[in-house]
Amino acid sequence: GAVVSQHPSRVICKSGTSVKIECRSLDFQATTMFWYRQFPKQSLMLMATSNEGSKATYEQGVEKDKFLINHASLTLSTLTVTSAHPEDSSFYICSAAWGHNQPQHFGDGTRLSIL
């Protein structure tokens, strides 16, 4: 149980393109979803937290106009990287939790490469 699906697993696109990443909880309703960014050989850095039906809460230093997050339902959250540039290339991982005192369950990540 507690499966989180993330799609696509890999994206390669040109600079200036906007890229949408989907995160779905397949067998539970996720009240909260989280988006992380991971640079090579580094730890995960939380970008934002989203609750279903409300605006995402962004961490300090994360541009909300650059990284658009939508959490329209209890099973789906999307991260859109707008006008992506090479410095946005990274590994993006989502996670989902179904309530307080519940651990986060992670997707398999999306490798984003901007040329």
Partner 1 sequence: AQSVTQPDIHITVSEGASLELRCNYSYGATPYLFWYVQSPGQGLQLLLKYFSGDTLVQGIKGFEAEFKRSQSSFNLRKPSVHWSDAAEYFCAVGALSFGNEKLTFGTGTRLTIIP
The binding site for partner 1 (CB under 8 A) comprises 4, 6, 32, 34, 42-44, 46, 49, 51, 57, 91, 93, 95, 97, 100-109, 111
Of 34 and 67, CB closest to partner 1: 34
Q: How far apart are CA 79 and CA 88, in angstroms?
A: 13
Angle in degrees, CA 3, 64, 33, rounded to 5: 15
Shortest Å, Cβ 10 to partner 1: 9
Shortest Å, Cβ 69 to partner 1: 13
**CB proximity list for 5: less than 8 A, separation 6 or greater:** 22, 23, 24, 25, 26, 107, 108
Shortest Å, Cβ 109 to partner 1: 5
Return the closest-CA partner of residue 7 out of 18, 21, 19, 27.
Answer: 21
Of 9 and 15, CB closest to partner 1: 9
Shortest Å, Cβ 11 to partner 1: 14
